Amino acid sequence: MLGSLDDCVTVTGFVITPYVGWISSPFTPQPMAAEVARVFAAPLAAFEREPLAITIPLASSKRIVLSYEAAGETVWGATAGILHDFMRLLGW
């Protein structure tokens, strides 16, 4: 592990503490199906630009969240916010 980033509080009240690490050997992710729909790989450079703001439905309202397009996927919400903070920490 290289270290932890600042906590991220989600709109649903969960607190996420992201960790940054370096994986030097082949790795096959095994996501928890109850928490993650799918896993994909994207180069760090995909997050160098400023994120977009998109509108998503949330219960009976709508919410504007950060988003990135990476590896043909949309990364949004808390994950996009964490990546945005990480990229700023790196100086990008």
SS3 61: strand
In a domain, 17, yes or no: yes
Cα distance between residue 16 and residue 47, in whole Å: 19
In a domain, 56, yes or no: yes
In a domain, 70, yes or no: yes
In a domain, 57, yes or no: yes
Q: What is the pLDDT of residues 12-67, one digit of tens each?
A: 899 999 999 988 888 888 899 998 888 999 999 999 999 999 998 888 889 899 99
In a domain, 36, yes or no: no
Determine the pLDDT at residue 60. 85
In a domain, 26, yes or no: no
Assigned token pair, 6? 């600042």
If one counts the domains in the chain, the total is 1
Range of the domain at 66: 3-21+45-90
Q: What is the pLDDT of residues 66-84, one digit of tens each?
A: 999 999 999 999 999 999 9
